[in-house]
Amino acid sequence: MKLSDLAVAALRAAIGDRLQLGDAIRNQHGSSEAHFPVMPPDAVAFPRTTEEVAALVRICGEYDLPIVPYGAGTSLEGQVAAVAGGLCIDLSEMNAIVTVHAEDLDCTVQAGVTREQLNEYLRDMGLFFPIDPGANATIGGMAATRASGTNAVRYGTMREAILSLTAVMPDGRIVRTARRARKSAAGYDLTRLLIGSEGTLGVITEVTLRLHGIPETISSAVCAFDTLKGAVDTVILAIQIGVPVARIEFVDEVQIAAINAYAKMDLAVKPTLFFEFHGSAASVAEQVQTVGEIAAGNGGGAFEWSNLPEERSRLWKARHQAYYAGLALRPGSTGWATDVCVPISRLAECIVETRADLDAVAIPTPIVGHVGDGNFHVLFVLDPDNPEEAAQAERLNARLVERALAMDGTCTGEHGIGLGKQQWLVEEHGEGVDVMRAIKQALDPRGLFNPGKIFSRP
């Protein structure tokens, strides 16, 4: 598709030189950190208000232009690829923190605010926003992909963290999905419908979030285990007996070796758990003791503690760099990250079988997991010049997803469907996908909102 001069003129009339047509910026917006080929939009817009977004949406409707919302470009299943060209709406200039209601533990931000920016802003108020997918994603992008991450075991995912959204719908209407009350039984849950819709039903422009007080005590620890099963069983038991662990992350030995090399650390190259405990001093002490006993009973070694903020930061930075550490295992490599989520009772079995499956190929495949939720990731570290490896990754990914589905799990715990998981969406949801399509058809009958994502046929 090629933008007509008329369309360009109309878009320019709406946002002036914040419409960009250059190759570099289009290519940048058509790529992500994932393994998908670059699919650039025809133009990139940088609106500053919800009303500007609505104006852009109306113009795109007039000129039949597809719309791809863009946050930080950190999605992993090709959600920002402009498969049919059209207009990329980059929300990065909508980065205002609109209001913080400290007394209500909530805030409203524009969609382009990043989670690190928000937490920086909140710190002096003694508040924080817990959802942490690793990447410094935008809040709008996190909403659109139903992101979660390391803290979800305690604080939930974007599904629970969002009180209300403002979105521009495909017909240009601006909808605020809910009030600021903590709960409501008023009508259909449009908030949850938009969360995870990956830009296919609306462009999210503002988000009202639940916040939390920074805990009185935060304590982090690392514990290496003799076996993968011992580590995972420790997680399962801790969750089952209700220890309110804030973070409980599994890192397998392949990933530990990668982290040691990348972040210059000297962690034991064993299946490892990273923990974080939040609460009062007494509560944290109690959690630590309980989890320590469970770990010891499952072949866990000594806990290596980090109570100082800078040590904790170093530890979690190492964990968050898992992706880049993985890529660094093979300079020049391309990453293909996938994730599944299973009932926690099947988690050990799922990871053990997956590890065995992966070890049969030569591709480096570190595993990390938000295992308190039953969610884990495999990173295929691919040689981009070897198409055979991509084919292997595809086959192994398929086997991983089929394994998770057979365990009554989901084909993606947090990365979303995008371009990469569409066949399994159908396998997972069956006729539910027809219901999803009917909703898509009702709200976006012309299929202009992020076409080709979630389902290729609207």
The number of CA neighbours under 13 Å toward the Cβ of 450 is: 30
CA-based nearest residue to 85, from 106, 60, 109: 60
**Are 339 and 377 in contact, with CB atoms under 8 Å apart?**
yes
Bridge partner list, 89:
45, 69
* Sole window of 54-62, 66-74, 267-275, 429-437 interacting with a second copy (rule: CB under 8 A): 429-437
* Sole window of 17-25, 148-156, 294-302, 357-365 interacting with a second copy (rule: CB under 8 A): 148-156
Query: How many residues belong to the site for a second copy (CB under 8 A)?
Result: 91
Nearer to a second copy, 10 or 83 (CB): 83
Kindly give, in sequence order, each residue whose CB lies less than 8 Å from that of residue 162, ignoring residues fewer than 6 positions away.
143, 191, 195, 207, 208, 209, 210
Q: Could you say which residues in the range 62-101 bind a second copy, by CB under 8 A?
A: 101
Locus of tokens 């849950």: 189
In angstroms, the CA 309 to CA 254 distance is: 27
Nearer to a second copy, 120 or 408 (CB): 408
Q: Could you say which residues in the range 299-358 bind a second copy, by CB under 8 A?
A: 341-345
Pairing of strands 43-45, 19-20: antiparallel
In angstroms, the CA 434 to CA 458 distance is: 10
Q: Is 33 in the site for a second copy (CB under 8 A)?
A: no
Strand, helix or coil at 207?
strand
Q: Is 293 in the site for a second copy (CB under 8 A)?
A: no
Interface characters, 359-398, with a second copy (x: CB under 8 A): --------------xxx-----------------------
Among 8, 21, 96, 105, contact with a second copy (rule: CB under 8 A)? 105
* Sole window of 180-188, 259-267, 301-309, 320-328 interacting with a second copy (rule: CB under 8 A): 180-188
**Are 27 and 81 in contact, with CB atoms under 8 Å apart?**
no
Nearer to a second copy, 57 or 258 (CB): 57
Can you say whether the dihedral through the CA atoms of 401, 402, 403, 404 is positive or negative? Answer: positive
Q: Could you say which residues in the range 231-290 bind a second copy, by CB under 8 A?
A: 236, 239-242, 244, 280, 282-283, 286
Q: Is 51 in the site for a second copy (CB under 8 A)?
A: no
* Sole window of 1-9, 196-204, 262-270, 330-338 interacting with a second copy (rule: CB under 8 A): 196-204
* Sole window of 47-55, 58-66, 191-199, 355-363 interacting with a second copy (rule: CB under 8 A): 191-199
